[in-house]
Structure 1
Amino acid sequence: MVGTPSAMGKPYRPKDHYFKKAKQEGLRARSAFKVDEILKRYPFLKKGATVLDLGAAPGGFLQILADTVGPGGRVIGVDIVAIRPFTQPFVKTAVLDVLAEDFDAKLRELYDGPFDAVISDMAPKTSGIRTTDEARSLRLARKALEVSVTRGRPGSAFVAKLFMGGEFEEFRQEVRAHFEEVKLVRPEATRGASMEVYVIGLVRMASGPKSE
C-alpha cells in the first residue's frame, strides 16, 4: 500500500469481518480477499505465470498470487515500504518508488522478462481533499497501466485500484485502448465508505492501441 492505508471516506472499524477472517486464515491483510475475489471472477492467472504486484505491502495480495501461480511461477512485489520476506523462493520483493525516475530501470534489474499480469493496489497518501486524492490515485493507476503496456506480454492482464472521480471514464478508455475487455469490480471486502474500485483489463493486444 503506497502512502497511508486509509482511503477516502469515513473512518472505519478495522476489526470487521474480513479483518478477523484474514487473521484466522493467516493472511497478512484483509485486502487478500479482494484479489482472491477478482481472480475467482476472472481467472486470468494460471500455474506457472509471472505477475507483478505494485503497492504490495504488507503482502496480502502476494499470498494469494503465490498460491495461484505456484512454485513454477514467479511473483514480484514492490512498495515504498519494506515487505516482510516470504519463505517461497519464487516470491521476490523490493522497496521501489513507482514514481521515481529510475523505477523502470530498477524493476528491470529485479526482473527483466515479461509479465502475465500487472496488478496494482497502490493508493496515495490521502489529503482529505477529494479532487486532490482522486488526481493522486489516477497518477498511480496510469503508471501501473504504463508498466502493464510496456512489460506485459500479449494476452496479459491488468488490474488497478482507482478512486472514482472526474477522470475515471477517461482512464477506463485508456485501458480499453490496450485490452480486449475492461471490467470494473468493487470487491465485497472493500470498506463501505471507500471510493475505490478496481479496473481490470483482460487480454492485452499485441499491436498498438486500438483506434477509436
Structure 2
Amino acid sequence: MHLKKIKDHYFYKAKSENFRARSIYKLQEIQKKFQLIKTGDHILDLGSAPGSWCQFLAQTVGQQGRVVGIDLKPVEKIPGGSVETIQADIFTFDFSLLPKFNGITCDAAPNTTGIKDIDSSRSLSLLEKVCRIASVKLNPLAGFAVCKYLQGIPLDEVKALFLEYFFMVSYYKPKSSRSESSEIFVIGRKLKKNNAQDHQPANSSAP
C-alpha cells in the first residue's frame, strides 16, 4: 500500500526550488542535524529515483565530490557532472565495481503488501543489505549510513543490527516526513573495522 500523494507545502517548495521530489527536505534536515556530508565527499545513494537526494548530495559535496545513485528505475541526468546514476537492483548489483565511499544514503522502501510480518521482513532485509554494502564500501571509523526504516520491527532489533556495523546509532524523523507515514531514519556512524562482509560474485574481488 502506498500513501496518498498530497500536494503539501513541501511539494510546492520542491517545485519552486527545482528539486525533483519533496523527499529532498528529509535529507536536508538530517544533514542540518547530524552534519554527516562534507565538501569533497563521495556518497553512494541507494534507491535514488527520481533523483532529489542526488541533487542535494551534489550541491553539498560540490564539484570536488562524487555521487553515485543506484535504482531499479532510470534517473534523468542531473546537471553538474558530479552525479553518476546506475539502473540496477541493489540486491544483485556487483558492488565490487565501485570504489570506496564516505557515506551511504538510502531513501528506498520495499514494496508493501499490508501484511505486517511480510512488510517488516522486507524492511529488515533492506536494512541488512545496506549494512552489508557499508561493510565493504565505507572506510572504517569514518563512514556513515542513513537508511529509511518503515516501523514495524522493534527499534531495539534495528539498533542491534546497526551496532554490529557502526559504533554510533541514532534515529530521526524529519519534520518534512508526513505525520501519517511510518518511516523513520536510522543513522549509523563510525563504521567498525571487523564487521560482516557483503557477498560478492565468485569471479569478482573488491577493489
Q: CA deviation at 1:191?
A: 1.4
State the shift of 1:96 in Å.
0.8
Structure 2 SS opposite 1:119? strand
Deviation string 1:119-142 (CA, Å, 9 cap, x unpaired) is 111101121222221211111111
Aligned pairs for 1:19-38 within 5 A = 19-38=11-30
Question: What does 1:182-201 correspond to in 2, within 5 Å?
Answer: 182-201=169-188
- RCO comparison, higher one (Cα < 8 Å, 6+): 1
**2: CA distance, partners of 1:144 / 1:164:** 17
* Alignment of 1:108 onto 2:96: yes
2:34 to 42, 46, 58: 42
CA positional deviation for 1:166: 2.9
Kept after mapping to 2: 8 A contact 1:75/1:92: yes
Distance 1:208 1:166, change over 3 A: closer
What is the Cα-based RMSD across aligned positions, in Å? 1.6
5+ long unaligned stretches in structure 1: none
Q: Which ranges of structure 2 fall in alignment gaps of 5 or more residues?
A: 197-207
Structure 2: distance between partners of 1:144 and 1:179: 12
Contact 2:66 / 2:82 at 8 angstroms: preserved in 1?
yes
What do residues 150-200 of structure 1 show as CA deviations (whole Å, max 9, x unaligned)?
Answer: 111121101110111235422211211222211100011111211111000
**What is the distance in 2 between the residues matched to 1:17 and 1:168?**
30
Within 2, Cα distance between the matches of 1:108 and 1:90? 20
Work out whether residues 37 and 60 of structure 2, in 8 Å CA contact, stay in contact via their aligned partners in 1: yes
What does residue 176 of structure 1 align with?
163
The answer to whether the 8 A contact 1:44-1:157 is kept is yes
Task: Find out whether 1:143 has 2:129 as its counterpart.
Answer: yes
TM-score by length of 1: 0.86
In the TM superposition, what is the alpha-carbon distance from 1:208 to its structure 2 partner?
4.1
Is residue 131 of structure 1 aligned with residue 123 of structure 2? no
**TM-score by structure 2 length?**
0.88
Give the percent of matched residue pairs that are identical in Structure 1 and Structure 2.
35
Q: What are the Cα deviations for residues 75-103 of structure 1, in whole angstroms up to 9, with x where unaligned?
A: 00000000011122220001110122xx1
1:12 is aligned to 2:4: yes
Query: d(CA) in 2 for partners of 1:170 and 1:88?
Result: 40
Does the CA contact (< 8 Å) of 2:39 and 2:61 recur in 1?
A: yes
Report the Cα distance in structure 2 between the residues aligned to 1:203 and 1:57, rounded to whole angstroms. 27
SS in 2 for 1:174: helix
How many residue pairs match? The answer is: 195
One-letter identity of the residue aligned with 2:33 = R
Partner of 1:60: 52
Q: Is the 8 A contact 1:127 1:133 kept in 2?
A: yes
Offset, 1:207: 4.0
Q: Distance in 2 between matches of 1:29 and 1:133?
A: 24
What's the offset of the Cα at 1:13? 4.6
Structure 2 partner of 1:93? 85
